Amino acid sequence: MNVDPEGLVKFLKRDIAYAESHKRTGGPSYVLVLGCSTGYGLASRIVSAFSYGAATVGVSFERKPSEGKQGTPGFYNNEAFEAEAKKRNISAVTFEGDAFSLAVKNTVIAEAKRAGKKFDLVIYSLATAVRTDERTGESYRSVLKPLHAPYSAKSLDFITGEVKPVTIEPATEEEARATVKVMGGEDWMDWMKSLAEAGVLAEGVTTLAYSYIGPAVTYPIYREGTIGKAKEHLENSAATITNALSNIHGRAYVSVNKALVTRASAVIPVVPLYISILFKVMKQRGTHEGCIEQMERLFSERLYTGGPVPVDEDGRIRIDDREMQSDVQEEVSRLMEHATTENIASIADLEGYRRDFLALHGFESL
């Protein structure tokens, strides 16, 4: 898909304006965002810099424009983020590269040392399908599949508006293992170990990774599927990291965020149907949020309240609370059951879904 760089700048400025209308003190001062260019990582970086005035270092894997070929959206987002930060004298340094690699870890460490600063917040927000483990030279590819049995459900083609059944065959054991390698917590643990050993983590550092739970209807493909296994590993890694950081009183958390239209979620079967109905229901109730509102609330109402961080019984931060309200879930599941190609435009926020998807590329409409 093409990209409208000017549109991306416009949307970024809108998010910055939102963050600046929620300026706060008592937050982080030097923040590392891994996966900083789009989605939840970008929104976390915007809140860090423009609500709390933090200096940020960002890492992402985006393509620069070259020989008549446009760059990827995140490239333009990074450029605009740096320009807006500079205008306000807020330090922002971005590295393009493979966050899984040792070279990128060393580059970030060298940057912190050059700046003479220690990270007090590290956000791990990578979403990708591929990882090469340099220690073994092996490459892994993640898949979005159920485990053990095929999964059949209704799915929405949000471009054509067609609602049709899909069946997805279960993953092989190899695919399930590969998905945990790519989207689990191993690399998050590697990052925190490298940063700690290099002495670039501040006393009391917080580190965060993002997860998703969602409704029972998506469990076979999400929470109980290959990606769910990876998220379970990520969530368990938080405890391991907190233990490893005990000498500097560091804490690792997984925050469970709301389902949103991002590059990652658009490709998960069934999820566009669920999200477009969820948006309709939440907008009717006035509780809908986008990435920036979610991250602003995560920082101001969970992480930096001045008191302990509220967590669920499994130690996770829940900022998906409004999505998971029982009345919202009941209404969404009732509508999903009755969704057809004929009624989808009236029972779901198809327009809102499309608008958010186009906005990822900088477009308002086609």
Q: Which residues are designated catalytic?
A: 222
**Nearer Cβ to ligand NAD (82/98):** 98
**Structure-block tokens of residue 129:** 């399908």
Q: Which of the residues 291 through 320 are near ligand NAD (CB under 6 A)?
A: none
Task: Check residue 140 for interaction with ligand NAD (CB under 6 A).
Answer: no
**Nearer Cβ to ligand NAD (134/330):** 134
Task: Check residue 357 for interaction with ligand NAD (CB under 6 A).
Answer: no
Per CB under 6 A, the list member of 179, 206, 257, 276 interacting with ligand NAD is 257
Task: Check residue 60 for interaction with ligand NAD (CB under 6 A).
Answer: yes
DSSP state of 269: T
**Side-chain-facing half-sphere of 282: CA atoms under 13 Å:** 23
Task: Check residue 93 for interaction with ligand NAD (CB under 6 A).
Answer: no
Q: In the bound complex, what is the minimum distance in angstroms from residue 243's beta carbon to ligand NAD?
A: 22
DSSP state of 216: G
Per CB under 6 A, the list member of 48, 51, 125, 206 interacting with ligand NAD is 125
**In 10 A of CB 199, how many CB atoms?**
11
Binding mask 30-59 for ligand NAD (x = CB under 6 A): -----xxxxxxx-----------------x
Beta bridge partners of 57: 32, 93
CA dist 228 and 140 (Å) reads 17
**Nearer Cβ to ligand NAD (55/230):** 230
Q: In the bound complex, what is the minimum distance in angstroms from residue 25's beta carbon to ligand NAD?
A: 27
For residues 28 and 120, the answer to whether their CB atoms sit within 8 Å is yes
For residues 124 and 208, the answer to whether their CB atoms sit within 8 Å is yes
Task: Check residue 98 for interaction with ligand NAD (CB under 6 A).
Answer: yes
Task: Check residue 279 for interaction with ligand NAD (CB under 6 A).
Answer: no
CA dist 108 and 354 (Å) reads 36
For residues 264 and 219, the answer to whether their CB atoms sit within 8 Å is no
**Structure-block tokens of residue 72:** 């990827």
Per CB under 6 A, the list member of 141, 193, 263, 302 interacting with ligand NAD is 263
Q: What angle do CA 10, 16, 20 make, to 5 degrees?
A: 145
Binding mask 191-210 for ligand NAD (x = CB under 6 A): -------------------x
**In 10 A of CB 22, how many CB atoms?**
16
Per CB under 6 A, the list member of 11, 61, 81, 151 interacting with ligand NAD is 61
Q: Counting runs of H as helices and runs of E as strands, what totals does the chain give?
A: 12, 11
Footprint of ligand NAD on this chain (CB under 6 A)?
A: 35-41, 59-62, 74, 98-100, 125-128, 210-212, 257, 259-260, 262-265
